[in-house]
Amino acid sequence: VGDPDIDHKCWERPETTAEKRPTIQINTTHPGSDVAAETAAAMAAASLVFKNQDPHYSKLLLDHAQKLFNFANSYPGVYTKSIPSIKDYYNSSGFVDELLWAAAWLYHATQDRYYISYVTVLHGKMFANWDNPTWFSWDNKLAGTQVLLSRVNFFGIKKEISMVENMNLQMYRRTAEALMCLTLLPPVTSQKTNGTFVKA
C-alpha cells in the first residue's frame, strides 16, 4: 500500500515516475484482511486465465492466492486500522466480504471443497448480510460473490458438495437473480455509455 498524500500528487505510470514512493505493509501485527483477500481473489482469477497458456505461472499465482487467503483469514482486521493515513482516501468498511469473495474465486480455481464450505457453511451465514445488494464496488464484494457462487449452481453441483452447501448455493442463486433483475430494469439500463456500460 502506498502513501496517498504522495501518490495523489502525481498521476503517472510507474515505469516513468522518478519520485520516491514509500510503501506501507500489512503483517501479522498490523493486519489487513480486506487487502490480502482482495489480492488473493485477483490472483485466483488470474490463475484461471493462464491455466492453459502458462500452467507454471498459473500455479504460482494460485499458490500465492492460497497463502494470502490463509493470512487474511488467520489475522483478521481492516487495513485502514493498521494504516490510518489511508482512511481519508480509501476507508474500508469491513473485510468479511473480501474473504467470501476470495474463497469463491479460490473454489473456482481449485475445486477444493474447503472453499465452497467456507462460503456456504463455515462463514456464509455469520459473515454475510446478504439482503439484495444493488451495487458492487471496491468496498463491497457481496453482490459479486453472490453472482460468482450462483455460477457454481448454474453449472451443476458436484457430487462432493453436501446438501447443506447446495441449499446455501440456491440461496446465493436467488439473491443473484434478484440483483440481476434490479440491475437490468429498463430505467437503469436505459442510462448507458457509448460503450454500452450501465451508468451508475
Taking the C-alpha atoms of residue 167 and residue 1, their distance in angstroms, rounded to an integer, is 39
More confident position, 20 or 188: 20
The string over 67-89, giving b where at least 16 C-beta atoms fall within 10 Å of a residue's C-beta and e elsewhere, is ebbebbbebebbbbebbeebeee
For residue 130, the model assigns a pLDDT of 54
Contacts of 158 (CB under 8 A, 6+ apart): 111
Percent above pLDDT 90 for the chain:
36
What average pLDDT does this structure show over 110-137?
A: 72
Q: What is the pTM of this model?
A: 0.79
- CATH C-level class of 4-189: mainly alpha
Please check the confidence at residue 9 and state whether its pLDDT lies above 90.
no
Taking the C-alpha atoms of residue 1 and residue 92, their distance in angstroms, rounded to an integer, is 13
pLDDT digits (tens, 9 = 90+) for 17-48: 777 877 788 999 999 999 999 999 999 999 99
Could you tell me the residue ranges of all domains in the chain? 4-189
Taking the C-alpha atoms of residue 74 and residue 81, their distance in angstroms, rounded to an integer, is 17
